[in-house]
Amino acid sequence: MKKNKAVRFIHLWLGMISGLVVFTVAVTGCIYAFEEEIRSVIHKDLQQVPAQLTGRYSLDSLITKVREEHKEIKIKNIRVFSDPGRSIIFNTRNNTSIFLDPYTGSILGTLDTEKEFLAVILKIHRSLYLGDPGKMITGASALIFFVMLISGIILWWPGKKKNLKSKFRFSLKTSRKRLIYDLHSILGFYASWIIIFTVITGLIWSYKWMEGAMYAVTGSVKETVKLKSVKPGSAADASVEKILAISLSSSAGSSEQLIMLPEDSTGVIKVNARHPKSGFFTKNDQYYFNRFTAEKLKEVPFEKSSAGDKLKATNLQIHTGKVFGLPGQLMVFFASLICASLPITGFMFWWGKRKEKD
């Protein structure tokens, strides 16, 4: 009894400390679990183009067009999709996404990636829209919530077998106090087995030591690539279209090519070739090119990546449930909804007991 009393005390006050943050992160998490699906609807006019089999503009000509029409921007990366009905996306270092029709070369529109709806949702989810201080708050709250999940399971655990049935289902034909307790305890128990993975994956982004623990547990080392582009004579930048062609031939069946342009004159061009979902891990092949000669300097195919790197590449998919497709997304969505309700039902139950004592 004394043990449970201590656990109950810890659970209560950790909940009081982190409740509002947990509510905010859970609600925004519900929305962001369907980020790709929401974007495809609200930005359909930017993402979709009439598909054609031939007549695509080269990436080099599209880069020139973007630079001519947006002289103030610096291109960060380019997203090219295998789907012939998708536009090409230029992401800039000025927090803007520019969408182009690859068949007409026309700019379909731009998005401010700082103020766009889902970008705002993500900032609230990650940092409460408070920048670095907010990241510290959400990271600490995630740690607290992890302890609360464990303590909640301990408090839920039935002391006697005869109480087991009542721990798995609740009845609407009971007192208001009991109903609130059951909504908190039973729904929290069911959601905890899903949310525990979203919390752990969130902590991997929040803390370097957590990322290090992931690599330690998998017995692997984080891949670090330090390469430079060597300029032969007075050579100009190589054709990005040529680099795309090399990457496409090396990663047959890929669904997207993310071409990351260098930040300085000695940087390399990195291409991340993403494959359609197959199996648990997110399959990515990585290639590094000399920006002046288009020479492939290094390649890291998915099959040769360490277990830690594979998990890190799949971290977002686990976090949002996409690793298991639509059923996984729905599970995370409803589990997050339950999480958002836990601070409310927990406070209501505590307040009710407090009023009884008065």
DSSP string, 12-65: HHHHHHHHHHHHHHHHHHHHHTTHHHHHHHHTHHHHB----SS-PPPHHHHHHH
Quick: pLDDT tens for 110-129. 999 889 999 999 999 999 99
The Cα 202–Cα 223 span in angstroms is 21
| 179 touches 345 (CB < 8 A) | no
pLDDT for 2 equals 54
- Average pLDDT of every residue of the chain: 88
pLDDT for 10 equals 75
The pLDDT of 321-348, averaged and rounded, is 90
The Cα 335–Cα 188 span in angstroms is 8
Q: How confident is the model at residue 167 (pLDDT cuts 50, 70, 90)?
A: low
The Cα 47–Cα 50 span in angstroms is 10
The yes-or-no verdict on residue 132 having pLDDT over 80 is: yes
The yes-or-no verdict on residue 164 having pLDDT over 70 is: no
The Cα 271–Cα 227 span in angstroms is 14
The pLDDT of 88-94, averaged and rounded, is 94
The pLDDT of 197-217, averaged and rounded, is 92
Structure-token match 């902590």, residue found: 203
The yes-or-no verdict on residue 162 having pLDDT over 80 is: no
176-206 vs 208-217: helix axis angle to the nearest 10?
80
The yes-or-no verdict on residue 356 having pLDDT over 70 is: no
The CA-based diameter of the chain, rounded to the nearest angstrom, is 85
The yes-or-no verdict on residue 144 having pLDDT over 60 is: yes
The Cα 152–Cα 134 span in angstroms is 26
Question: How many helices (H) and strands (E) would you count in the chain?
Answer: 11, 8
The Cα 94–Cα 258 span in angstroms is 18
Going by C-alpha positions, the residue among 99, 102, 116 that lies closest to residue 61 is: 102
Six-digit token string for 12:
């209560």
The Cα 251–Cα 261 span in angstroms is 19
